[in-house]
């Protein structure tokens, strides 16, 4: 009869030791010591595997944390391996709509999205949305997941499903009273409209997003519109998007005005500054100032390559813009090289029929002087 109490005592010791290892890992993570946190979570995982087995639910925290830490460190392959294992354990251990399963699925969607593995993320995102619909006090989480789903479809060029998800998210945000979240949801719908070549609709969405992002009490434009004077302050990114929409409907004067507004906004992030440079390049190109356009686009590319994955569509768009510029300057060799760089990266994350991939492929095959075909003007 002594065996059961002895085993219970052993299990209690194991759980206590495992808990201490996890606590130590959390403390290192919270202090920002990510290398140490990674090592301690790995120790906790190895201990739990020996003490409880390789499929035990108590492994889930270490697995989820290791997936996020490796993603932060840029090791996407290892991050995905840990994330998938955490999700499998959750799905085996709990009913399908259990809170732990939904949380593991949300983590996996975020991880795959960050790794630009859009097609893998969509079915998991759909399961999260289905589980959160009708769940009490889950409106904000549901809106966030719908926005992620919209971004995933938009990245793949599926603008219909993207718009449907974004509109559902926007409807939820309108009832939550969070202006910043409502502004972001409005901007997202504008981006989808922009990518789908609905430029006037995109401009309206971007201006609404900018108005919502302005500090409360500073929306002093006439009563007929809810949009503030640009000087009232708002997001640099949203102002840059307004500038881009004006460019696409051939209003360079308005584009320049909004670009100046965007540049004057304080506390912009590095990626926002890259976006400003990208739009500035488009404005210079529209005015046939090719040297200035190239300088702006190369600035944007430098920023994006530091802060975004190489295969990110933003990186691809700037490379394509530079390749088009090289082709216009009758430099087919440079156009081909830049087009090939864009194509090689984009085809790892986007379908072959995506407009960016098609444009990159056309540029990558730009005839050079030694080819029999004439150079495209």
Average pLDDT by consecutive 10-residue portion of the chain (377 residues)? 45 78 90 92 89 86 90 86 92 87 92 91 96 90 96 96 97 90 95 95 94 66 35 73 94 94 86 95 96 97 94 96 95 96 96 95 80 38
Residue found under tokens 């906790």: 44
Picking from 314, 373, 95, the residue whose alpha carbon sits closest to that of residue 191 is 314
- Whole-number Å distance between alpha carbons of 243 and 280: 9
pLDDT of 195: 95
How long, in residues, is the chain? 377
Say what percent of the chain tops pLDDT 70: 89
Going 341 to 346 to 352 to 358, the CA torsion angle's sign is: negative
What DSSP string describes 162-215?
A: HHHHHHHHHHHHHTTT-HHHHHHHHHHHHHHHHHTT-HHHHHHHHHHHHHHHSP
Instruction: Give residue-wise pLDDT tens across range 277-295.
Output: 999 999 999 999 999 999 9
Tokens, residue 241: 């998007």
> Which domains occur in the chain, in start order?
11-115 (1.25.40.10), 269-377 (1.25.40.10)
């Amino acid at each position: 009869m002594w065996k059961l109490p002895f085993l219970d005592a052993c299990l209690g010791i194991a759980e206590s030791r495992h808990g201490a290892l996890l606590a130590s890992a959390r403390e290192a993570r919270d202090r920002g010591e990510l290398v140490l946190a990674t090592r301690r979570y790995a120790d906790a995982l190895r201990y739990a595997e020996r003490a409880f087995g390789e499929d035990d639910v108590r492994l889930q925290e270490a697995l989820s944390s290791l997936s996020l830490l490796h993603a932060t460190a840029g090791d996407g392959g290892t991050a995905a391996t840990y994330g998938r294992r955490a999700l499998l354990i959750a799905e085996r251990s709990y009913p399908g709509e259990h809170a732990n399963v939904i949380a593991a699925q949300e983590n996996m969607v975020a991880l795959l999205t960050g790794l630009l593995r859009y097609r893998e993320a969509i079915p998991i995102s759909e399961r999260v949305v289905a589980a959160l619909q009708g769940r009490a006090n889950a409106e904000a989480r549901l809106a966030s997941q719908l926005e992620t789903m919209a971004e995933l479809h938009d990245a793949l060029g599926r603008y219909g499903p993207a718009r449907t998800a974004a509109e559902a998210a926007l409807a939820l945000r309108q009832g939550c009273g969070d202006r910043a979240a409502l502004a972001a949801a409005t901007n997202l719908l504008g981006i989808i409209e922009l990518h789908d070549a609905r430029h006037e609709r995109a401009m309206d969405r971007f201006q609404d997003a900018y108005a919502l992002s302005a500090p409360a009490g500073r929306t002093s434009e006439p009563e007929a519109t809810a949009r503030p004077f640009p000087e009232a302050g708002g997001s640099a990114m949203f102002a840059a998007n307004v500038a881009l929409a004006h460019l696409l409907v051939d209003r360079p004067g308005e584009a320049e005005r909004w670009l100046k507004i965007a540049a004057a906004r304080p506390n912009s992030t590095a990626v926002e500054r890259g976006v400003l440079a990208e739009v500035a390049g488009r404005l210079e190109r529209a005015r046939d100032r090719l040297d200035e356009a190239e300088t702006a686009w190369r600035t944007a590319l430098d920023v994006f390559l530091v802060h975004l994955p190489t295969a990110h569509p933003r990186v691809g768009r700037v490379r394509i813009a530079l390749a088009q510029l090289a082709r216009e300057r009758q430099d087919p060799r440079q156009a081909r090289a830049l087009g090939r760089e864009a194509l090689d990266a984009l085809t790892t994350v986007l379908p072959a029929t995506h407009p960016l991939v098609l444009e990159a492929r056309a540029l990558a095959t730009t005839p050079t002087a030694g080819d029999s075909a004439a150079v495209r003007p």
